[in-house]
Chains A and B, each alone.
Chain A
Amino acid sequence: MSETIKISPLTRIEGHASIAIHLDDAGEVADTKLHIMSLRGFEKFVEGKPAEELPRIVNRICGICPWHHHLASNKAVDGCFGVTPPPAGNKLRELMHTIAHAEDKLLHFFFLAAADFVLGPNTDYQARNVIGLAKANPDLAGKVVRMRQKAKMLLERFAGKAIHPVAGVTGGFAKPMTEEDRTDMLAQVQELLDFALFTMDFAKNTVFPQYLDLIQSLGKIQTGFMGTVDDAGGLSLYEGKIRLMRPDGTYDDFAPEAYTEHIGEHVADHSYAKIPYAKSWQEGVSMDLDRPKGMYRSNCLARMNVVDSIPTPKAQAELEEFRERFGRPAQATMLYHWARLIEEVYACEHALQLLQDQDILDPNVRTQAEPKAGRGVGCVEAPRGTLIHDYSTDENGLITRANMIVGTTHNIGPMNMSVHQAASSLIHGGEVNEEILNSIEMAVRAYDP
């Protein structure tokens, strides 16, 4: 007899989603749906607001990655008003962006995902979480909590507010960095880098080896990838051109302003979130596992696939090893976890690079702007993918139109596919237990939605 299994809410992710698994009379998976359950309507309600206020409004799109929305928004407003931040203002923004990346990845790996690996997917749900992890391994938990707090406090001490930041402003940054600030940060970021390297080794030596089969198979699908690269094709999280790679590894690079030529958004009946697809491939949109069309992925695995190299030494060495083992582009969904830790190393190394640059101390951090009519597209690599804010203003500098494509959104289609792949391979004859359902969720959790 056919029935529907509901995994609701999806847990240890950011946001509101559920999975419906429809079983046929034989208890096999007939259909799956990943429902994205909420819609707030930022695109509409920012209309009429002074553009310079938007970076302090749209950061509420996400409390885990508010810095990235804040900065993409600042860039879009700069575009509307036609201002360019002075070099130090831009560097300070990039530093905040980079440290926020470092904090975010620690949060995901240890607080949200690790319980599945360190404790195991079949652990009872009441213990399969960071609280259970803290009981099982208090030393590690203490260290993790301290390190994540360190990254967060770095942001707060320098920029006032860490959740829903305010220090990025139209035309630059609200305050310059003093030598005292820098000395403090350098020491702390060095500690974060040491911890990032420890985490990488810990994962490679004690966590991932136990799950290599699962890593290679769970939620595995074939898609293209999207990420941002610098002029040399190197990894760049803060600015650059967007690279859209096909499943066969060929790619096109384009400026963020041209995003509407390359990306379309499909409206699906079962999800408030839209489903982006590669319009420029001219093959339409389909989430069919055997013949997907237009499907590409974002976030750290995508970035590891699209870049030619990583411009910091330790992360580059990790990338080389990763490619050696898994090829390019690597398609296994669970490799997101591995890629995330490589990026953690890069973020810490790059934050050090920025802090070691004498020019970051220049007191000229903001170019004065005047409200005017214009359009601006602000784009950064948020932890969850290429984040696009596109605004237009009237002659008073009030917002007339806004469009946003959020990092996680790029992965909605692929997550639907991964859920279907995982459910179809794990559920047979109507047999469903908690471990199976959590494993299906792990296929989503890897994307860190």
Chain B
Amino acid sequence: MSIQVAEEWLNACSGCEICLLDMGERLLEVLEHLDFVHIPVLMDHKYYGQTGREKHLSVPKADVGIISGGIRNEEHLEVAKAMREQCDVIVALGTCATHGGIPALGNSWTSEEILDRYYHTESTDPCRQYPSNGVPPLLDRTYALDEKIAVDMYLPGCAPHPDQVYAAIMAVVQEQTPQLAGLSVCDTCPTQREGKGDLKRLRRFLQNAKYTPEEPLDHMRCLLEQGLLCMGPVTRAGCGGEAGTPRCIAARVPCRGCYGPVKPESNQMLDMLGALASNRVDIQSLPEYTSLLRFSGAHNLLHPKASKERS
């Protein structure tokens, strides 16, 4: 049987759509089960009719609606609502959709402050007013999808691993609900943890970790124990796909939290500061804290007032 799918990208970068393509040959297999009725990155279905003369935006009916990106402007909101109306099941694909993602870092400022900077950079000509003709007005901040519409399934990741996307699609094809393990990145990390040690301060990542390049990852000591901030303890596992090994760690680089919090409703910044403090690490050794919420600042966790109080 063939499942009808509509796909949309909102306040996103297209990385999630590329991860669909990154399924490789499995993509061709998946396409045998799915019938895409709307997917702007690949297909020319239009909002206002195929000859652009309809007055109202519409997307086709579908069994499943996949949405990447959060909601930042009026058009995102309109499309999200249309998708919700037309699709039986809504899947939030990627961390922007599930938690706001990197663009939600903007929630530390008002929309006016963001516009003021962008239209007054050193290479920009003076302008009397900001664009308003035929472009959608910004909302006050970046919203995760479930702050504006009901979401049935969450597939976080920045970008999600193609293995997980494939598994989720095949689960849906078999009318099952895809299961995400409730593990942290640390639970899946092969590096050596030697226990608490005497780490008092973290250092910034301005020199490489200590390891022997020819040796496998399980010979390297845990990066947090090496004194580098690593968000593994407070980040949902999954970035390594079937292989399991966290992708940034494989590059010998510490995790920054791109799969969002282990429990969807947690606060990665508070969790991380708590984990460090309980291990007697001086949190003042971090240059700033906002970056700990760099993937999950929607749901009102980052807001202009908070950033000004912290600075």
Contact = CB atoms under 8 A, between A and B. Distances in A.
Interface of A: 3, 5-12, 14-16, 18, 20-21, 33, 35-41, 43-50, 52-53, 56-57, 60-64, 66, 81, 107, 111-112, 125-126, 128-131, 134, 138, 141-142, 145-146, 148-149, 152-153, 156, 159-167, 169-171, 174-176, 178, 259-260, 263-272, 274, 276, 285, 363, 365-366, 368-371, 390, 396-398, 403, 405, 432-434, 437-438, 441
A403 B123 contact: yes
14 contacts: A9-B40, A35-B135, A48-B290, A50-B288, A60-B101, A111-B21, A131-B36, A138-B28, A145-B24, A149-B24, A161-B250, A178-B214, A265-B123, A268-B131
Given A12-B41, A432-B52, 9 more contacts: A44-B113, A49-B105, A129-B44, A131-B31, A164-B258, A175-B251, A259-B123, A267-B124, A365-B208
A397 B119 CA distance: 25
B287 A45 contact: no
A20 to B, nearest CB: 6
B221 to A, nearest CB: 15
A60 B103 contact: yes
Interface string B55-80: 00100000000000000110100000
Contacts of B214: 178
B145 interface: no
A158 B73 CA distance: 38
Given A52-B206, A60-B101, A175-B213, A264 B44 contact: no
Interface string B1-24: 000000001011111111101101
A267 B130 contact: yes
A266 B117 contact: no
Contact of A107 (B21, B45, B125, B213): B21
Q: Which 10 A-B pairs have the closest CB atoms?
A: A63-B15, A160-B251, A41-B114, A267-B127, A149-B24, A63-B13, A60-B102, A160-B250, A44-B117, A63-B14
B166 interface: no
Contacts of B278: none
A14 B311 contact: no
Interface of B: 9, 11-19, 21-22, 24-25, 27-28, 31, 36, 40-48, 50-53, 57, 72-73, 75, 101-103, 105-106, 108-109, 113-115, 117-119, 121-125, 127, 129-136, 138, 158-159, 204-209, 213-214, 239, 247-253, 256, 258, 287-288, 290-291, 294, 307, 311
B131 A5 contact: no
Contact of B287 (A40, A396, A433): A396
B52 A5 contact: yes
Contact of B15 (A45, A60, A272): A60
A38 B72 contact: yes
Contacts of B43: 11-12, 125-126, 129, 131
Prevailing SS type, chain B contact patch = loop
A270 B135 contact: yes
A312 B135 CA distance: 44
A60 B22 contact: no
Contact of A50 (B57, B134, B204, B249): B204
B248 to A, nearest CB: 5
Nearest to A141: B28
B99 to A, nearest CB: 13
Interface centre among A50, A130, A267, A368 (most CB of B within 10 A): A267
B260 to A, nearest CB: 14
A405 B251 CA distance: 28
Given A131-B42, A145-B24, A267-B125, A60 B52 contact: no
Contacts of A39: 72-73, 114-115, 118, 138
Nearest to B53: A5
A17 B310 CA distance: 37
A9 B47 contact: yes
A160 B249 contact: yes
Nearest to B49: A6
Contacts of A46: 105
Given A44-B114, A164-B258, A263-B123, A175 B208 contact: yes
Contact of B251 (A47, A153, A166, A365): A166
Contacts of A18: 134
B46 A403 contact: no
A57 B101 CA distance: 10
Contact of B28 (A134, A164, A174): A134
A11 B135 contact: no
Contact of B11 (A40, A47, A142): A40
Given A53-B291, A60-B102, A8 B22 contact: no
Nearest to A149: B24
Contacts of A149: 22, 24-25
Given A37-B135, A63-B15, A178 B75 contact: no
Contact of A271 (B46, B48, B131, B252): B131
B61 to A, nearest CB: 15
B159 to A, nearest CB: 4
Given A62-B14, A269-B132, A49 B206 contact: no
A259 B121 CA distance: 13
Contacts of A56: 256
